[in-house]
Amino acid sequence: MAETVTIIIDGEKYEFPVITGSEGEKAIDIRQLRAKTGYITYDPGFGNSGSCKSAITYMDGKKGVLRYRGYPIEDLAENCCFVEVCYLLLNGDLPNRSEYQRVSVMLNDHSLVHEDMQIFFQNFPRSSNPMGILSSMVNALRSFYPELMTTEEAMEITFMRLISKVRTMAAMSHRISRGHKIVYPRPDYSYCANFLNMMFDSPVRPYEIKKEFVDALNMFWVLHADHEQNCSTSTVRGVGSARANIYAALSAGIAALWGPLHGGANRAVVEMLEDIRKNGGDVKKAVERAKDKNDPFRLMGFGHSVYKTYDPRAKIMKKMCDKVLAVANTQDPLLDIAMQLEEVALNDDYFKDHNLYPNIDFYSGIVLRALGIPVEMFTVMFALGRLPGWIAHWRELMDDPEKKLFRPRQVYVGETERRVIPIDER
């Protein structure tokens, strides 16, 4: 017999079905709760609410497990490039050689950005935040590609167009912000090598593409590619639930990612480490401040809504720091500070009691710095990695026969009914 849960309200019993996920996670199906009982649930941040059924990514926050389509993140980071992982997220399986070649050709074919769009870039003030530019430009793409995605083929072209062009646009925004000439994508470079080349090639100093840097970038983007119903992905799904077009939904996702509690944390970590370094490197003081409830300061790159243990992606990222710094032939003083900070925090009772461990952003900025990526581009790098995840979730939502317009309820705590007093009598 199907499992149910009984809820008793004012002595009356109500039964609700239980849904069990493929990894054994249980959810009480409360879709009929309000209709049957008149009650709603109260769950700010939705930490206890499943907004959908999804077959894309599995996380176990207690054990530190992350899998895309069943594959452990460690396995993917070690053995797959970003394009393979894009294919996996969008199609459910890793590509074979000919499928891989086919999508690589499509990514190449769709890598150019409409020349008219360059005018938009040129007109943003130089000091604009690249996340704002990216969000606007992705929304604007819809005007250039208004085709309806009514066939499988049209859908795939749109996805490949987005994955390829958004990367080109990100590199363009960096070049223009520096007053440098745009570098076009090249057909003979891989997805990641192309991005590095578009960012850094110069007529006076040709960019030397190091294999280790390309590997590091692949790994960086693989680690960021999806993370189930996080803030930006839920935003993409929320906008998509109103049947807005995919460009609008992704543009909103980029805006959500911008926030320092979400994707903006990778930049905030480096700024925090820099501050600690400038103030003499006292990591204990930073930990004390983070514990002080009268101080709004938080240890950036620590804590996670789901992981109550070490973020599995942070472990991989930490190892990558040493590798890229060795190839870059440089020492980053921020790495030492990060490692000291981690040690002090992990041995501190407050951090232990609150289950606060390093998250992906704690070490990712150090990897990006070693690749030469400027700090204002850090969150854009995250967005480029998360793009296939957002698209996969948008697609899954569109295909979901149980999809509903996002419309949470609220507990109203404002004034009860009252009458307007004419303005001169108030």
Residue 285 touching ligand ACO (CB under 6 A): no
The nearest distance, CB 234 to ligand ACO, in angstroms, is 12
Under rule CB under 6 A, how many of the chain's residues touch ligand ACO? 18
Q: What is the smallest separation between the CB atom of 394 and ligand ACO, expressed in angstroms?
A: 19
Q: Least distance to ligand ACO from the beta carbon of 233, Å?
A: 11
Q: Quick one: 285 or 354, whose CB is closer to ligand ACO?
A: 354
Q: Which residue is nearest to ligand ACO (CB)?
A: 303
Q: How far is the CB of 316 from ligand ACO (least distance, A)?
A: 14
**Is 393 assigned a catalytic role?**
no
Min dist. Cβ of residue 306 to ligand ACO (A) = 8
Q: Does 364 bind ligand ACO (CB under 6 A)?
A: no
Interface with ligand ACO by CB under 6 A: which range of 22-30, 34-42, 140-148, 293-301? 293-301
Report the residue from 40, 55, 261, 326 that binds ligand ACO according to the rule CB under 6 A: 261
Q: Is position 361 annotated as part of the catalytic site?
A: yes
**Binding track over 97-116 against ligand ACO, x by CB under 6 A:** --------------------
- 107 vs 367, which CB is nearer to ligand ACO? 367
**The tokens of 249 are what?**
């939904």
Looking only at residues 336 through 355 of this chain, which bind ligand ACO when binding is defined by CB under 6 A?
A: 354
Q: Which stretch binds ligand ACO (CB under 6 A): 56-64, 90-98, 201-209, 299-307?
A: 299-307
Told to check if 236 binds ligand ACO by CB under 6 A, we report: no
256 within 8 A of 235, measured Cβ to Cβ: yes
Spell out the SS3 assignment of the chain.
Answer: CCCEEEEEECCEEEEEEEEECCCCCEEECCCCHHHHHCCCCCCHHHCCCCCCCCCCEEEECCCCEEEECCEEHHHHHHHCCHHHHHHHHHHCCCCCHHHHHHHHHHHHHCCCCCCCHHHHHHHCCCCCCHHHHHHHHHHHHHHHCCCCCCCHHHHHHHHHHHHHHHHHHHHHHHHHHCCCCCCCCCCCCCHHHHHHHHHHCCCCCCCCCCHHHHHHHHHHHHHHCCCCCCHHHHHHHHHHHCCCCHHHHHHHHHHHHCCCCCCCHHHHHHHHHHHHHHCCCCHHHHHHHHHCCCCCCCCCCECCCCCCCCCHHHHHHHHHHHHHHHHHCCCCHHHHHHHHHHHHHHCCHHHHHCCCCECCHHHHHHHHHHHCCCHHHHHHHHHHHHHHHHHHHHHHHHHCCCCCCCCCCCCCCCCCCCCCCCHHHC
Of the residues 262, 304, 311, 393, which is catalytic? 304
Residue 303 binds to ligand ACO (criterion: CB under 6 A): yes
Single residue of 172, 246, 334, 356 touching ligand ACO by CB under 6 A: 356
Per rule CB under 6 A, is residue 286 in the interface with ligand ACO? no
Q: Is 221 in the site for ligand ACO (CB under 6 A)?
A: no
Report in angstroms the alpha-carbon separations of 374 from 174, 218, 371, 382.
Answer: 9, 18, 9, 13
- 223 near ligand ACO (CB under 6 A): no
Selected from 225, 236, 265, 381, the binder of ligand ACO by CB under 6 A is 265
Q: Which of 359, 369, 379, 391 binds ligand ACO (CB under 6 A)?
A: 359
- Cα–Cα distance, 85 to 286 (Å, whole number): 37
Nearer to ligand ACO, 335 or 356 (CB): 356
* Residue numbers at the binding site for ligand ACO (CB under 6 A): 261-263, 265, 290, 298-305, 354, 356, 359-361
Active site residues: 304, 361
